[in-house]
Each structure stands twice: as C-alpha cells, then as structure tokens.
A and B are shown apart, each in its own frame.
Chain A
Amino acid sequence: MIPLLKVNSPGTYSSIQDSGRFGYQRYGVPASGAMDKKAFNLGHYILGNKDKPPALELFFGGQKFEVLSDHRIVLVGADLGAKLDGEPCPRWKTVPIYKGQVLEFTRMVEGSIAYLIPEGGFRAKRFLGSASVYPKGKLGTILTKEQILYANQAAQSTFKRGLSPAKIPKYQQNINVSVWRSPHLDYFTKDALDQFIRSSYTLKAGDRMGYLLDGPKLEFRKSSDLLSEATQFGTVQVPNSGQPIILMTDAQTVGGYATIGKIAEDDLWKVAQLQIGGEITFEWEDENIF
C-alpha cells in the first residue's frame, strides 16, 4: 500500500470510481461507476492497467493534492486546468509525479469530469464487489480534506505512453445524441414526441444521480405517474414538470415517472461531459425493430 496523494482541497465532488457495481440493482443499489466510461477506459489503456482498477473521478475542478510518493499517473477526461507545481500538466499521456509536488485542478476548461489514474490504480475498499463510492447507500464517502489516497502498487514502469491525438475525445457544449425509444411513449402527446426530437434542451444542473434539462415542456396525455419499474444509466425520465432528466450512474434503480428513451451508450460520455448551459438535441436510434 503506497501513500500517493494527500487531499489538500477535495473540490466540489470527488470520489473513487471503477467500472461499477453489478448484480445488486434488484436490491436497490445503482450500478454507479465512472460517469464517462470512455475516458476511464482510455486512461487505463494508456497506463496498461489490467482489470480497470479504481480511479479518482473529479468534478468541475477546485481539487488540490500533495504528492506523497514518486509515481506514474495519467489524467484523462475533462480539461480542468491541471497544474503540477504550477506548470500545465498534460492529459492523455503518462506523467511522472514526484514526492512533494502539488497537483491542482484550477478551472473548468473543456468538459466537466476528469479522471486521475495511477499505474495499477488506487487502493480502495470494495463494497458489494466494487470500489465505486455511492454515499447515499453508505458505500464509501467522497473525498475529504486531509484524506490520504493509496496506490495499489509502486510504479513499475517509466514508459512514456500517450494517446494519438486523433483518438482523444473532444468535449463539446452542443451535442446530438441517439435515444432508444421508451416503452412509455404513449404517455406523451404526439406534439411532445415531435418537440423532443425537434428542440434543443439546456443542461440546468447535474450530478452523479441525474442531469436536469430545460427546454420546451413535454406534455402528457394524462400524467407522468406510472407503476414503478427499472431505470438505467442514460434513461431520460420526464416527471410531471415536463422537463426531462437524464438519469446518471448513481440514479435510483427504479422510477415511477414516464421515460421517453435511453441515451445510446456511445453517446453517454458526451452527456456526462456537458457543462452547465450545454445544449442537447436528440434523435431516435434507428435500430428499434420492436
């Protein structure tokens, strides 16, 4: 167990996440895990980490860490203005870090969620088979000031590795995403369905549970209330307010409001990385044959 980082400032919301917690949704435990799986996976790929060990997920910036041991890390995902001892710290490539250095995330430049991953991943307690922190379920806690984060292993390589520029995701504030049709479409008026596809929705607020959108109100034939049933990461739920909510990875496992669809997996990372004020348009996934 290698002490790697001391938390000088935990930022808005920072937590340990891995690929997620599976097999417990029927007991009311959401899958959790990294919000942007694409960045998370690429980070592990760059480091050559096996089995995608726990990473540190950082929202919006404001975090500050003191390095406690020499190591090798990668920063992926959003550009949160990372600085190592005051110098810009590159993303999407391995970076050697040395004891005593200060790593700081200064501001939100592009995207909203970054991942800090050491070679071999972080050492973290696993609950129900996963290290993904889910505070609402008392499964771990978010980062706190003075907390020490441990690495699973000492860095074993000094290899420099990075992603070719063409493969680096770009985080945009205007995105178009594909949506699988929901079984509840008959809860909505025909106009509402047209409007959903024609209009642009603005991200008003968001966290690991859900992204609240603002745009033309979606009307129901009667109401949005229905018999609760399973929801998942990417489900677009529309409560009686008529304003859609995209359920994210810590969302409840079941919901009692009508849903209009589910965001395609290949597009979910774009949603996760939207900043407040970002715009989304939707299109129906073609593949729906039922």
Chain B
Amino acid sequence: MTEGKDEQNRLPLVMRTGERSLRFQFGDKLDQGTYQKVLHFSRLVEQERDMLLQEWVPSYHTVTLYFKKAPQNINKVIDHYLTKWLEVDRTMCIKTNKPLSISRKVSIPVCYDEEFSLDMERISNHTNLNRQEIINMHAETVYTVYMIGFLPGFPYLGELNKKLATPRLESPRRRVAKGTVGIGGQQTGIYPLESPGGWNIIGKTPLDLFHPDRKEPFLLQTGDQLTFQPISEHEFYTMEKQLKQQPMLINDFIN
C-alpha cells in the first residue's frame, strides 16, 4: 500500500448537505473504532474555535458542522478540517477499542424501588428475570453516551444487556416524569424532562439531566461513560432535596 492510499483510508467521507452544513462520516455502522473517531473529531472541532462555525452535532458515525453563514470557499474549509484531522490521526492512538481516556465518568443514582419502577413486572414477565436480577444487570453495565437528542439532554446509551430488552408499551404514557429511567426495546435511557413516552419504566434519578438556568445546563455529553448506582427511596428524597438547595452538587456525580 502506498502512503497516499493509507491516508485516504483514514479520511472521513465529506459531504456538503446544505448552504451552511458539512457532514463528516467516519464509518457506516455502530462500532467502537468509528465512534472513537467521532469523539476525537468533535474534540478537534471544539478546540479549533473556527469563527465561522456555529455548532456541531456528533452521532454514532458522523459529525455535522453548521456554519454561521455559507462559507465562500467550501473546499478550503474541508481541506482545513481534513488536514487537522490527519494530524490528530497521526499523533493519537485511536485504533484502540477501549473507552477513550478523554471520556468523563458519570454515575447516575437511580432508585429502582416499587414507587418508581412501574413496569418492573412487565419486564420481569418478558425477560423471566426477577426484580433483583433486572436491577443488577441494569446497574452493572458501563454505558456509553453515544448521542444526545429526541429531547434536550436525552442520552442514547449503548449497550443494554440483551437479556433486558423489552418491547415498548403498546400505547405510550401521556406523561413520563422527569428523571425516569426506562427500557425501550434494546435501549435504555433517562427522560430529562416530563414528556410523553412509551418506554418501560424501571426507576428514577433525582438528578436534573437538563436545567436551563444552571451554569452547565446539561449533565451529560457525548462520549461520557455512564453507570447507574442503585439507591434507596430515602436516599432518593435526601438527594433530591439537597440538589434543589444546591444545584451545583450535581458536579459531584461527574468524574
């Protein structure tokens, strides 16, 4: 293989998807290697502080850049990011399949008690697991926050233990409380806001994943390594009260 060919392989596919948007694609499926590239590229974009850049949205396999206005010379912009990317790619070992060292670790306290686990029986019936087994399996996994969307601050988490997969409710609830932890098909997640929802409810966290008036409005960001920490009902209400008085205590859950 020539050097040039190797370099080509390391470059993402780039496509202009609108006047002000560029899409960088790092793979075509969900795998760790692709996702590492997404995270590193996002970090590069964040550190670049390109004046023309308005914002960027990472997904499992793409990073989309939005500019404040249509770049005059889009090829120059693309070249700029690709050149920077090759520098990152050369200097950083991103072939490893291990979680990134740049990732934060976030521990989410969850009360799985009956009061908050409205669909535990449904999950139990579907999975043939008892309550304690379900809680253990849900809480022993380290999840990656692959993407945030659907609602402000709603994390797309991977991967739920397949044994816990349970189909969504046939008719969604009109209201699912803020902080609710649920299982929907092969996915698990946390509702950052009260919203309609069809996931099976297994618990609730006292943490506000999204609080528009907080200095850091969002608790989670893409790439975070997330775990669920089972807590008692008493702990739930104590934490809820403390967090209400001192919202900044939420930072204690981030490592």
Chain A: residues with CB nearer than 8 A to chain B? 22-29, 127-128, 136-139, 180, 182-183, 227-230, 232, 234, 252-254, 262, 264-265, 288-290
**In whole angstroms, what is the CA distance A105 to B222 when docked?**
45
Q: List 24 A-B contacts (CB under 8 A).
A: A26-B55, A26-B58, A26-B221, A26-B222, A27-B148, A27-B221, A28-B153, A128-B212, A136-B195, A139-B212, A180-B16, A180-B19, A227-B59, A228-B60, A228-B147, A230-B62, A232-B18, A232-B64, A234-B18, A262-B17, A264-B19, A265-B19, A290-B14, A290-B16
Give the residues in chain B near A254, CB-CB below 8 Å.
57, 59, 147, 149-150
**In whole angstroms, what is the CA distance A127 to B23 when docked?**
28
**In whole angstroms, what is the CA distance A23 to B46 when docked?**
11
Give the residues in chain B near A227, CB-CB below 8 Å.
28-30, 59-61
* Residue pair B55, A22 in contact (C-beta under 8 Å): yes
Give the residues in chain A near B28, CB-CB below 8 Å.
227
The residue that B21 contacts in the complex, of A29, A232, A252, with Cβ under 8 A, is A232
* Residue pair A230, B15 in contact (C-beta under 8 Å): no
* Residue pair B59, A290 in contact (C-beta under 8 Å): no
* Residue pair B212, A28 in contact (C-beta under 8 Å): no
**In whole angstroms, what is the CA distance A136 to B147 when docked?**
19
B225 in contact (CB, < 8 A)? no
* Residue pair B147, A138 in contact (C-beta under 8 Å): no
Closest CB-CB distance, A109 to chain B, in whole Å?
A: 31
**Interface pairs A-B: 9 shortest CB-CB:** A230-B64, A254-B149, A230-B57, A229-B59, A137-B152, A28-B149, A29-B152, A127-B212, A28-B148
Q: Given A26-B221, A29-B152, A265-B19, 12 more contacts at CB 8 Å?
A: A139-B152, A180-B18, A182-B17, A227-B61, A228-B60, A232-B17, A232-B18, A232-B21, A253-B149, A262-B21, A264-B19, A265-B18
**In whole angstroms, what is the CA distance A227 to B28 when docked?**
8
B154 in contact (CB, < 8 A)? yes
Q: Which of B51-84 contact A (CB under 8 A)?
A: 54-62, 64, 66
Interface string of B4-21 (1 = CB under 8 A from A): 000000000111111111
The residue that A23 contacts in the complex, of B55, B151, B194, B212, with Cβ under 8 A, is B55
- Most A C-beta atoms less than 10 A away, residue of B21, B28, B60, B149: B149
- Most B C-beta atoms less than 10 A away, residue of A27, A252, A288: A27
